[in-house]
Structure 1
Amino acid sequence: MDAKEDDAMLRGQVAIWHCMFGFADTMALTCAVELGIANIIRSHGQPVTLHQIGASIDGTSSPDIPSLERIMRLLVRREIFAAHQPSNGGDTLYGLTYSSRWLVTESGSESNLAPLVIMQNHPLLLAPWHYLSQYVKEGRSSTPFKKAHGMEIWEMASKDPMFNKLFNDAMACNSKNGMQAIMAGYKDRFGLIGSLVDVGGGIGVVIATIVKANPHIQGINFDLPHVVATAPAYPGVEHVGGSMFESVPTADAIILKHVLHDWGDEECVKILKNCKKAIPEKQGKLIIVEVVLQPEGKGPLDDIAAVFDLMMFQLGGKERTEVEWKNLLVDGGFPRYNIIKIPTLLSIIEAYPK
């Protein structure tokens, strides 16, 4: 091999190493969230030393500083945290970056991903990844999650209160993220809606945000009974328990945010048909907030969207291209649609029954 091919082979090997040990990034990130490192740095109001971080970690009086240093070294390389050596030659100081600001959970922090980090890296959510090859061989007889645990994630949440809280906290966090872009990208259209149902709305974060900004809207948060049972009260929002596979409360419009990607095409068509029955035939509208895959896209959001698709794969769901969304909507009774792009991973899809 010549020097050019040697270099290419080395880069190929490094790429495999990165994939092979990608879990180290995941676990280091989870460790940082569990230790509350972003909160500790934020509470000091300035970059801090490892010893200052260690002294502020809850639940221990003698943290292992050398181990903490090695974890932070990797997270600094990944630009989750920043580190710099002070000019006076003192200990290295660690600060927040735009990435670690998403891990701050202090009061007043509207945008944070910490609960989602904890849920996605919980042993119950990690186990299904070991069943991907088996799922490919055996087909869609059972999802990787069910192969790992003997039940689907929704059943697990209904039977295990601790997992239900973990799941609801993560979904509430997920619901908040992107809402600013959604509200800005759709604000003029909310004025024409008198009543709105959030189907699969979890504990009501999305509909509460919409109603707060548009108090003329009568909001209904619709989800499974065990989910809405833990939902807080919001002005102008009614919580309704039920199954979207059976029926949906009636309203002028329906919003589905990060719901349809949880399900295969057959289940989605059933949900869409129930949504169609619940809105006016002429003026009714369906607002879908989901990823629209761009298979040929080269940007960072396109890369994350591909990861999201594989994540949904283990639960029996999928992310979809525009063509796949079009086919799904037509099958579900919504022949007209319009895609509104917003500055986030998600897009807004308006769909109409006529």
Structure 2
Amino acid sequence: MYVSRFHYLILEFERERMEPIDKEAMLTGQAEIWRYMFNFADSMALKCAVELRIADIIHSHGCPITLSQIASGINSSSADINCLARIIRLLVRKKIFSASPQTDGGQTLYGLTHSSRWLLHDAELSLAPMLLMENHPWLLAPWHRLSDCVKEGCIAFEKAHGQEIWDFASVNPEFNKVFNDGMKCTAKITTATIVSGYKDGFGCIGSLVDVGGGTGAAMAEIVKAYPHIKGINFDLPHVVATAQEYGGVCHVGGDMFKAIPEADAVFMKWIMHDWSDEDCVKILKNCRKAIPKETGKVIIVDVVLQPEGDGLFDNTGLVFDLLMIAHSSGGKERTEPEWKKLLNEGGFPRYNIIKIPAFLAILEAYPE
């Protein structure tokens, strides 16, 4: 045994002599692993800031304020200002909030940045509900099942909760609200960009059905910009049951795998990525039946993956691909070749990709 150990050490020494280890690179690698290991702390600090409405408190003053002023605005009679200071210190380093030390010895003033303005609850465009949704324990639990998905090919959400996500939402009103609120806020953000980026794409449409439209926020924005459009918001019955009324929009409950309401065109935002290729082909074939053969089209708003890209949202696209493993029932984000294959199999061989200044792109697809 000792001889074998001696020979092993000799071989290791020879290997290191021939291929010296880059100690600086190894140290950098170690630091990277530590950073990735605790990346969740950034999300939790952000969630804390949203729950405490820190951005709203600063915004209500109309200017940067002190830590004491932030603490006094929190809905608590016993706020721990030391704990608050440590959380804000990290968020300042991450450039979520700004910090301006006073030269006269006064307290540091904390202000909003372009990032924290997206955390305002009452802003017309806010990501606060989406952040709370994605960091809710219900939606974090499936992430711990990724290795099970690799080993067993299972559905992570079902593994964590005993039901697939849509079934879970149908019997859990609290989850249904958290989920719908998250979808509603992102619908407002992306739809505003879609309406401006798609320009005349909606102009020739008399009627439009939003398949998987949630509570109708996206369709409401489209109809507001194009009042001539008859809007149909189509989703599962338990989803549209909680939808508010919007002018020019009617809510229809149903199952997109069975039939889709007829219209001049079909609109689908962040729907296809939830489903497998096989399921997406079924949806597309039902879309094909719902629109006019000669003039109909499908407007898909989804991620077009650029795995090697260095664009503003390309890394987030890859993260969303893993999100589909965690939350969907076989869904995924797709590259353009994958979209082309899917659309062709679904009966839409002609398509255009319209890039917009957003996380998503518009795929305009036409039947044979």
TM-score (norm 1): 0.96
Matched, 1:125 2:174: no
3-state secondary structure, aligned to 1:178: helix
Shift of 1:143: 0.8
Matched, 1:339 2:353: yes
The match for 1:151 is 163
Letter in 2 for 1:251: A
Shift of 1:134: 1.0
The match for 1:21 is 38
C-alpha separation in 2, matches of 1:181 and 1:14: 38
Between 1:5-14 and 1:325-334, the stretch displaced more is 5-14
The match for 1:62 is 78
Residue by residue over 1:282-334, the C-alpha shift from the partner in whole angstroms, topping out at 9 and shown as x without a partner, is 10000000010011102331111111111111123111000010111011111
Residue by residue over 1:90-130, the C-alpha shift from the partner in whole angstroms, topping out at 9 and shown as x without a partner, is 11111111110000012xx2211000111111111011111
Matched, 1:187 2:186: no
The match for 1:200 is 212
The match for 2:8 is none
Residue by residue over 1:224-259, the C-alpha shift from the partner in whole angstroms, topping out at 9 and shown as x without a partner, is 011111111111111000010110000000000011
1:81 aligned to which of 97, 122, 126:
97
The match for 1:9 is 26
3-state secondary structure, aligned to 2:354: strand
The match for 2:118 is 102
3-state secondary structure, aligned to 2:43: helix
TM-score (norm 2): 0.93
The match for 2:109 is 93
Letter in 2 for 1:150: G
Native 8 Å contact 2:121 2:128 kept in 1? yes
The residue correspondences of 1:214-233 to structure 2 (distance < 5 A) are 214-233=226-245
Q: Name the Cα RMSD after superposition.
A: 1.3
Letter in 2 for 1:48: I
Shift of 1:11: 1.3
Residue by residue over 1:18-57, the C-alpha shift from the partner in whole angstroms, topping out at 9 and shown as x without a partner, is 1100111111010000000010010010111111111111
Letter in 2 for 1:61: S
Letter in 2 for 1:77: R
Letter in 2 for 1:119: M
Letter in 2 for 1:50: L
C-alpha separation in 1, matches of 2:66 and 2:257: 53
Shift of 1:3: 11
Rg larger in structure: 2
Native 8 Å contact 2:92 2:99 kept in 1? yes
C-alpha separation in 2, matches of 1:336 and 1:327: 11
C-alpha separation in 1, matches of 2:339 and 2:58: 43
* CA 1:92–1:4: 2 relative to 1, 3 Å: farther
C-alpha separation in 1, matches of 2:210 and 2:107: 51
C-alpha separation in 1, matches of 2:28 and 2:98: 26
Letter in 2 for 1:63: A
Letter in 1 for 2:98: A
C-alpha separation in 2, matches of 1:180 and 1:233: 19
Where does structure 1 differ by over 4 angstroms across 4 or more consecutive aligned residues? Answer: 1-4
C-alpha separation in 2, matches of 1:248 and 1:178: 23
2:300 aligned to which of 288, 306, 318:
288
C-alpha separation in 2, matches of 1:65 and 1:242: 50
Letter in 2 for 1:220: I
Shift of 1:4: 9.1
C-alpha separation in 1, matches of 2:140 and 2:193: 30
Letter in 1 for 2:293: E
Native 8 Å contact 2:192 2:221 kept in 1? no
Matched, 1:172 2:189: no
Aligned pairs, number: 349
Q: Percent identity?
A: 63
Between 1:88-97 and 1:246-255, the stretch displaced more is 88-97
C-alpha separation in 2, matches of 1:67 and 1:51: 12
3-state secondary structure, aligned to 1:145: helix
Unaligned runs of 5+ residues in structure 2 are: 1-15
C-alpha separation in 1, matches of 2:21 and 2:360: 40
Residue by residue over 1:56-99, the C-alpha shift from the partner in whole angstroms, topping out at 9 and shown as x without a partner, is 111x1120000001101111111111111022211111111111
Matched, 1:273 2:295: no
